[in-house]
Amino acid sequence: MISIRNLKKNYDGEGAVTTALEDISFDITTGEFVAIMGPSGSGKSTLLHILSFLDRPTSGSYAFQGKRMQDLSDEELARIRNEEMGFIFQSFNLLARQTVYENVEIPLIYNANIPPELREARVRAAVAAVGLDDKLYEEAGKLSGVQKQRVAIARALVNQPNVIFADEPTGNLDSASGAQIMEILARLNESGHTIILVTHETYTSEFAKRAIHIKDGRIHSDGPLTRRRTSKSDFIK
């Protein structure tokens, strides 16, 4: 699904160039649950921005679903991003005054492939998948943090994307709430969703099946995670 080779990213500053990614290569196949890990400043956000088509690499290649990024226009990248990728952020990024229903519906409004009459069923199914059926018409701003993140997961799911990017999804949550979110992501992965998680927290990454550690813009290690956390009591410290 994802194939990157010798990816490099420089940021040009005033008189100085920062190399955020030095030489990154890996493949991610459908159905994987990958944690991209590393300390602050290691290049995680830069890598995520490129993988999710927000930014282009300085050199190297990136193919998503067999399509090479260098062959795609900015318009095509935006369309693929809207229709084939789902996003979950640390800060939830919900519209506080809108209902759960309205928040989850937003990606469908921008998806020309889904006729309006199919939207309601899609929204209800996505909200049911995160167990928030009873909150459908509540204002998002009135929900608890973990409920907001569940709404964000429903919004990420509603277009039935090929991949879900989760950027520090537990960063604003206490550990019990973080565990709930990670259990939902693990469950979605078990049912076939490809998930790419960016985190600097080891306990969050342990829900993934593979960890790619980056350090100073290079891959430090890349391999399977064998120990899956199985219960909440194992997780809550």
Q: Binding residues for ligand ADP, per CB under 6 A?
A: 11, 13, 18, 20, 38, 40-46
Min dist. Cβ of residue 37 to ligand ADP (A): 9
Q: State how far the Cα of 16 lies from the Cα of 29, in Å rounded to an integer.
A: 37
**Tell me, what DSSP letter sits at residue 72?**
S
Min dist. Cβ of residue 163 to ligand ADP (A): 19
Min dist. Cβ of residue 31 to ligand ADP (A): 25
Min dist. Cβ of residue 160 to ligand ADP (A): 28
* Cβ-based nearer residue to ligand ADP, 17 or 112: 17
Tell me the one-letter amino acid at 221: S
Helical spans, DSSP H, in 85-216: 100-109, 119-129, 145-157, 175-190, 202-205
* Cβ-based nearer residue to ligand ADP, 10 or 162: 10
Min dist. Cβ of residue 122 to ligand ADP (A): 32
* Cβ-based nearer residue to ligand ADP, 107 or 217: 217
Q: State how far the Cα of 87 lies from the Cα of 103, in Å rounded to an integer.
A: 13
- Paired tokens of 153: 């997961």
Buried b (16+ CB within 10 A) or exposed e, 31-57: ebbbbbbbeeebbbbbbbbbbbbebeb
Torsion of CA 179, 41, 87, 33, to 10 degrees: -60
By DSSP bridging, strand 2-12 and strand 59-64 are: antiparallel
* Cβ-based nearer residue to ligand ADP, 46 or 111: 46
* Cβ-based nearer residue to ligand ADP, 21 or 158: 21
Q: State how far the Cα of 183 lies from the Cα of 193, in Å rounded to an integer.
A: 13
